[in-house]
């Protein structure tokens, strides 16, 4: 199996940008236990406020401002739901 793009979406609304990228990969990224490589980001005023990714060797994790924490990957659907819920919460707080 080759690497296959599952989702590549970028939405820009004024000072807010949301980027979602998912690839199906033939082998799990080192540190993850599933066949996906992903990177989701919320950027407000040019600053990456929130990011979910599974960087090689780090496994599934999230960044909120300057803090990094583990993320328990269950499924792509749950990942997208978790990211979108957090985006909505953050945008209500910052009101860009």
Give tens-digit pLDDT for 60-71.
999 999 899 999
Percent of the chain with pLDDT over 70: 98
- Domains of the chain: total: 1
Containing structural domain, residue 70: 4-94
pLDDT of residue 94: 76
Alpha helices in the chain (DSSP H): 76-94
94: its two tokens: 């910052």
Q: 75: exposed, middle or buried (C-beta count within 10 Å: 0-12, 13-18, 19+)?
A: exposed
């Amino acid at each position: 199996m080759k690497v296959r793009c599952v989702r590549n979406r970028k939405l820009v609304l004024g000072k807010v940008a949301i980027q979602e990228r998912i690839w199906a990969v033939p082998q799990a990224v080192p540190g993850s236990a599933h066949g996906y490589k992903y990177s989701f980001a919320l950027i407000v005023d040019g600053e990456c406020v929130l990011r979910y990714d599974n960087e090689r060797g780090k496994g599934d994790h999230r960044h909120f401002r300057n803090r990094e924490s583990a993320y328990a990957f269950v499924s792509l659907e749950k990942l997208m739901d978790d990211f979108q819920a957090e985006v909505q919460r953050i945008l209500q707080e910052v009101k860009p």
